[in-house]
A and B are shown apart, each in its own frame.
Chain A
Amino acid sequence: MKTFGVVVFPGSNCDQDCYHAAAHAMGARARYIWHRDTDLSGVDCVILPGGFSYGDYLRTGAVARFSPVVAAVADFARAGGLVIGICNGFQILLEAHLLPGAMRRNQNQKFICKHVHLRVEQPQTPFTGAGRAGQVLRIPIAHGEGNYYADHETLRRLRENGQIVFRYCRPDGHITLDANPNGSMDNIAGICSERRNVLGMMPHPERCSEPVLGSADGRVIFESILRNGVVS
């Protein structure tokens, strides 16, 4: 059985939610990893959860990326281990250069919390293997800086290599401007590394892994990890 390791930075808010989703909603094993810890033994998939690590001082995710654990996570990723960064976790992966691009403030300059729809663009990752191309998932966002940006060259590479994993869409799957909640380039909601073992996504799958919460579509991501996953 797979074991999830949930990293906890000062200011992480969604670590307990991710732990609950992994352990209680999905029935997997889980443990916490304190940010000063570098021991990832026994962990098959690292989760960098949402929140406001270090209060979002400087730039969101900018300080967290210097924590000892991030270097350990980078080694883990290089060795092929699975890493998923959710919301602030995605921002940290960008700051740590484990994923390309950057996050800017939402276009409307406000924090937005609501359910949105995502289209699975890339089912061939350890995080989407249980889904299919074009599948629409209803997953909530909650962020002030989810406006993904990458320069033209990077964007071209992401497209060519199939690294765009999720895009914001309408309930029927159409990718439109009105379905984009934050101005993110190309409606990008989640991307993966070239080797596909590192994923960053702004929406929160841990918030929709149980029917009682209004949507269980987040389970697709956790199920994919549990089924596939590359163990280092």
Chain B
Amino acid sequence: MIEPAVYRELGLKDEEYQRIERLLEREPTPTELAMFSVEWSEHCGYPRSRPLLRLLPREGKFAPRVAGDAGGVEVAPGLTVLFKLESHNHPSQVEPKQGAATGVGGIIRDIFTMGARPIASLNSLRFGDLQTSLAKFLFAGVVDGIQFYGNCVGVPTVAGEVYFNRCYRGNCLVNVMCVGVVPTERIVLGRADGPGNAVMYVGSSTGRDGIGGCSVLASHEFGEDEQKRPTVQIGDPFTEKCLIEACLEALDTGAVVGMKDMGAAGLTCTTSEMAAAAGTGMDVDLALVPRREAGMEPYELMMSESQERMLLVVERGEEERVAGIFHKWDLNAVVIGRVTEDGILRVRDGGQVVAEMGAQDLASPPTYEMPVEPPAYIAEAAARDLSALPQPKDYERALLDLLASPNIASKRWVWEQYDHMVQINTVVLPGGDAAVLRLKDVAHDLSDAYLWEPRPAAIREPCPPTTPTPAIAVTTDCNSRYCYLDPYLGAQIAVAEAARNVVCTGAEPAGITDGLNFGNPEKPDRFWQFRRCVEGLAAACRAFGVPVVSGNVSFYNETPTDAIHPTPVVGMVGVIEDIERRCTMDFKRPGDRVILLGESLQELGGSEYLAVAHGLETGRPPALDLAREKAVQAACLEAIRAGLARSAHDCSEGGLAVALAESCIRGGIGAEIKLPPAQSDLRLDATLFGESQSRIILSANPRHVEEIARIAEKHGAPWAVIGETGGDRLRIESSAGAGLIALPVAEMEQAYEGAIPGLMG
């Protein structure tokens, strides 16, 4: 007789328990109960989000490959780029270094489990107010965890974003993304095909770390005094590096039928989902599982989230050959069972069967339609009248304050701790709108796929590259303040901004992965935010013709006193056909014309300026006209591809003035800017710092301006020459001729580069 307290402790509801009894036609064994509790948890089973996620489009211009642990798009004939974003929020709040490290490890596994070589990592991080010691501690710890794991595992961490807002005080967000490349025909799925084939466990031995991580940590709010430390996993990047090489070598034999990584819910997730995907069953014996602690119970083995482990399905007869490869890399490789044809997942411990259920049953958690209700604050914030706010007396001071605001300031302190160059693909380094990675493998003929084949001991003749070399641009984006004020619009803007960022490097948006971070879904106002964000994402993706190929949902990011802003992070991949046609944000030469594509409106709502100068997070976010956005992006892309744009940088937090300042600082060159004539009664602070969407700043050789104007007109994008690069200051004049800003680039650079190091020491 199982007491309700027992299954409730595991996170199961009464109805869920009853459903389990109905499926099994009996009471579950302890092992079975544990397996259901992890597989059906919010983090693993997505019971509350799955219905809405179906809204996200899976079609697009670049052929999507959506399946399995990650998804991707075909970016060149025969070459697919796989990518996925995932969260590791709750563990990082508890133990920032290991929480972040294991997050990195986990997402990298999701990529190479599909046969792709991981070529880049990105991340999107959020913490509380950086003036507080807690936020500093978490920020330093998380960055340390990412560098500890990422640098050792040999995957460059090339891009990301970091935001600070007191709403994240009790719930930091650590979203990590990984990108990999694979010849399309070599993609491997997490399926247990072929009854009689071997089920092989490879990688680290199993311990008690992380038990209940997904069911306990990630599926509930944090209480005030929670001690959840034992449920944080420990990562070993050296083992993972060996695992990457061994797995790719093993896949090259052609004898690996399916592969899946053990992340949340470990063995339970892999066994059930691989069998369910193929419509087969599995019979495994836990006595054969390598373990690092004595006396582990079957349920512990099934729930453990020990890192750096994979489950393979290997063709019958090829077991020794495949295992030999893992042994060469000093990794465990043990056949623990067989694929069966009866659709049953049977788990033994030595002689005894400890769990037996339909694989489909276990891998099919119930879904729930959650009630929604718009929160009261939204209408209040939208109605807020900002017209009476005083303008700054000193616009220069206002700009310097923004440049030094942690949300805008240079994140060099972060990315110089990451090896962002290993694998020698990074062509546009961190610090810009997006990172750009060349796809050099394509240039060397896919059949010479030395990155996927075992390293040849035979001497190879040199192979010169063919041109052009394609490349991808990658970025993560989300302004959660906008999402707080208007979830639907904020989510659309996240997509628009990600697309705009890759366009500024010369790439065409090709695919998206998402990391959806929200509060408690059982609260109608939080679920309303979630639903509106998903709807906004879907609408924007459809408008841009970009598929959502993968993603992740993280709920319960709140404590009794704080709830996070809705934070739907967008990870975008764009395609550059010829790496030589790329663009960066720094002004290049004095005497270039500065051109504004797009239009500045009077929009202070939700801006960083409003928060920094006036201490307010209110108003409406800036409007987004999707047609206008597409026109501006198309014009920018065409100008870059034609070799006409010397630099391109989009306007985001801090508006036009900050974007100009950043291009000056990065280029080490000043500029003379005259604001275009006002449409209506413009507040100067709104023109300088307002965050109107769909704006890109280009710089160009004066003799190319006419051509750029022609391109802009052709696409219907507003354009205006607003000034010229040169000198050692950024000078900005109002359209009426009033001098607003005349700041030395050196002084702006000091504020911009010095802010984060100043706070972190």
Contact = CB atoms under 8 A, between A and B. Distances in A.
Interface of A: 3, 8, 10-11, 13-17, 19-21, 23-24, 26-34, 37, 42, 50-52, 54-57, 110-114, 140, 142, 144, 204, 206-207, 210, 212-214
B455 A8 contact: yes
Contact of A20 (B242, B329, B440, B457): B440
B134 to A, nearest CB: 21
Nearest to A206: B424
Given A10-B238, A21-B424, A111-B419, 16 more contacts: A13-B241, A17-B424, A24-B462, A24-B463, A30-B459, A31-B460, A34-B457, A50-B422, A51-B154, A52-B152, A52-B154, A52-B237, A113-B418, A113-B421, A212-B438, A213-B426
Nearest to B117: A16
A17 B417 contact: no
B342 interface: no
A210 B147 CA distance: 26
Interface residues of B, number: 45
A142 B459 contact: no
B427 interface: yes
Contact of B424 (A26, A110, A112, A213): A213
A54 B238 contact: yes
A142 B419 contact: yes
B576 to A, nearest CB: 12
Given A24-B463, A111-B147, A11 B424 contact: no
Contacts of B457: 31-34, 37
Contacts of B456: 31-32
B85 interface: no
A15 B455 contact: yes
A23 B416 contact: no
B424 A56 contact: no
A11 B330 CA distance: 11
Given A15-B455, A19-B450, A52 B241 contact: yes
B620 interface: no
Nearest to B423: A17
B464 A24 contact: yes
Contact of A204 (B418, B421, B461, B580): B421
Contacts of B291: none
A204 B151 CA distance: 15
A50 to B, nearest CB: 8
Given A11-B241, A20-B440, A113 B420 contact: yes
A3 B459 contact: yes
Interface of B: 147, 151-154, 236-239, 241-242, 329-330, 415-424, 426-427, 429, 438, 440, 444, 450-451, 455-465, 469, 579-580
A51 B242 CA distance: 12
A16 to B, nearest CB: 7
B421 A10 contact: no
Nearest to B471: A212
Contact of B417 (A28, A54, A113, A206): A113
Given A23-B462, A31-B460, A52-B151, A213 B422 contact: no
Contacts of A55: 152, 236-239
Contact of A212 (B422, B427, B429, B451): B427
Contacts of A24: 440, 444, 462-465
Given A13-B241, A212-B427, A207 B152 contact: no
A29 B459 contact: yes
A19 B423 CA distance: 11
B459 A16 contact: no
B143 to A, nearest CB: 9
Given A16-B451, A27-B464, A29-B461, A10 B423 contact: no
A10 B330 contact: yes
B579 A111 contact: no
A29 B462 contact: yes
Contacts of A29: 459-462
A214 to B, nearest CB: 8
Contacts of B418: 111, 113
Contacts of A112: 416-417
B423 A114 contact: no
Contacts of B147: 110-111
A40 to B, nearest CB: 11
Contacts of B438: 212
Contacts of B424: 17, 20-21, 206-207, 210, 213
Contact of B460 (A13, A14, A15, A23): A23
Point out which of A16, A28, A113 has the most chain B C-beta atoms below 10 A from its C-beta: A113
A113 B416 contact: yes
Contacts of A11: 152, 238, 241-242
Given A13-B422, A55-B152, A111-B419, A213 B427 contact: yes
A52 B238 CA distance: 7
A14 B422 contact: yes
A166 B242 CA distance: 32
A11 to B, nearest CB: 5
B422 A10 contact: no
A57 to B, nearest CB: 8
A32 B457 CA distance: 5
A54 B239 CA distance: 9
Contacts of A33: 457
A142 B464 contact: no
A98 B242 CA distance: 27
A152 to B, nearest CB: 32
Contacts of B423: 16-17
A32 B421 CA distance: 21
Nearest to B150: A111
A152 B420 CA distance: 35
Contacts of B450: 16, 19
Contacts of A212: 427, 438, 469, 579-580
Nearest to A43: B459
Contacts of B330: 10
Given A11-B242, A13-B422, A27-B464, A42 B459 contact: yes
14 contacts: A8-B455, A16-B451, A17-B424, A23-B462, A29-B459, A29-B462, A30-B460, A52-B237, A56-B238, A111-B151, A111-B418, A114-B416, A212-B427, A213-B424
Nearest to B154: A13
Contacts of B238: 10-11, 52, 54-57
A206 B424 CA distance: 8
Contacts of B440: 20, 24
Interface centre among B419, B438, B458, B580 (most CB of A within 10 A): B419
A12 B580 CA distance: 30
Contacts of B459: 3, 29-31, 42
B696 to A, nearest CB: 24
Nearest 4 Cβ contacts at the A-B interface: A55-B238, A13-B154, A32-B455, A52-B152
Contacts of A210: 424
Contacts of B461: 29
Contacts of B462: 23-24, 26-30
Contacts of B241: 10-11, 13, 51-52
Nearest to B469: A212
A64 B154 CA distance: 17
A213 B582 CA distance: 12
A57 B440 CA distance: 32
B746 to A, nearest CB: 16
Contacts of A113: 415-421
A10 B329 contact: yes
Contacts of B458: 31
Contacts of B415: 113
Contacts of B239: 55
Nearest to A52: B152
B427 A142 contact: no
